[in-house]
Amino acid sequence: MKVLLIEDHEAMQATLRRSLERGGGVQVLCCGDGARALERWRASCPDVVLLDLGLPGRDGLQVLADARAEGLRTPVLILTARGTVGDRVLGLNTGADDYLPKPFDLDELEARLRALARRGGAPADGPGSFMGLQVDGDSGAVYHRGEALELPPREAALLRALLARPGQAVAKERLLALVFADEPEVLPDAIEVVAYRLRKKLARTGARIVTLRGLGYLLKADDGSTATSPAAG
């Protein structure tokens, strides 16, 4: 589950990010500027938006109103110190899906976010799934938010291996054995070519393959940096 946290208080950002990501299966992206929030929302394609109202640059309610007018249907949970009934009604009428006043319980916040993700059709990440990518246990096909990815067999095998342990390094030797099981004499550098091709096909999914020199590869949330070339390993 990918959460976009739109909150300008840096300490609150850090606390919420750490708390939501502690159990795994949740990736938190942050934005602290109301003027850039809508751009970040469009670019990140989150499963849920956690929105503070008191933002610099543009008020949170205006960000929400603009997003809904633009057709962005991502579930939104408003998180704010404005706790009156009138504020809650205004937020919900503007297009929010839920409302949690500060101070709040972190476990309740996480439960509400997961409920909104399920309501919005985003599966909570579990074994074999990450950032909307999911492996069909019967066919071995890989889907992104319900749409099958058209991958050659070797790229699909590499992605399945990385999805089994998202966020953790998988040794190059192990990947080589899994991806080239029918070619025991293949050169080790062959896995780099497969990883390079797969990186390009994952560019719009929110997931990225990272090379860890001397360790292997891992799958992580895309932070917007440039993927390495096959020559870089």
What is the largest distance, in Å, between two alpha-carbon atoms of the chain? Answer: 70
pTM to 2 decimals?
0.53
Residue 131 tokens, joined: 């950032």
pLDDT tens-digit series, residues 109-122? 988 898 888 776 54
Cα–Cα dist 221/26, whole Å: 10
pLDDT bracket for residue 226 (50, 70, 90):
very low
Would you say 130 and 219 are in contact if contact means Cβ atoms under 8 Å apart? Answer: yes
Question: What is 2-119's CATH topology?
Answer: Rossmann fold (3.40.50)
Residue 166 tokens, joined: 């998202």
Kindly tell me the burial class for residue 75, based on how many C-beta atoms sit within 10 Å of its own C-beta (0-12, 13-18, 19 or more). Answer: buried
The identity of residue 45, as a single letter, is: C
Of the chain, the percentage scoring pLDDT greater than 70 comes to 87
Q: What angle do CA 160, 161, 164 make, to 5 degrees?
A: 85
Would you say 76 and 119 are in contact if contact means Cβ atoms under 8 Å apart? Answer: no
Is the confidence at residue 124, as pLDDT, over 50?
A: no
The CATH architecture one would assign to domain 152-232 is Orthogonal Bundle (1.10)
pLDDT tens-digit series, residues 172-220? 888 888 888 777 778 888 999 999 999 999 988 888 999 988 788 988 8
pLDDT bracket for residue 28 (50, 70, 90):
very high
Residue 233 tokens, joined: 């390993």
Cα–Cα dist 128/5, whole Å: 25
Domain boundaries, the chain: 2-119, 152-232
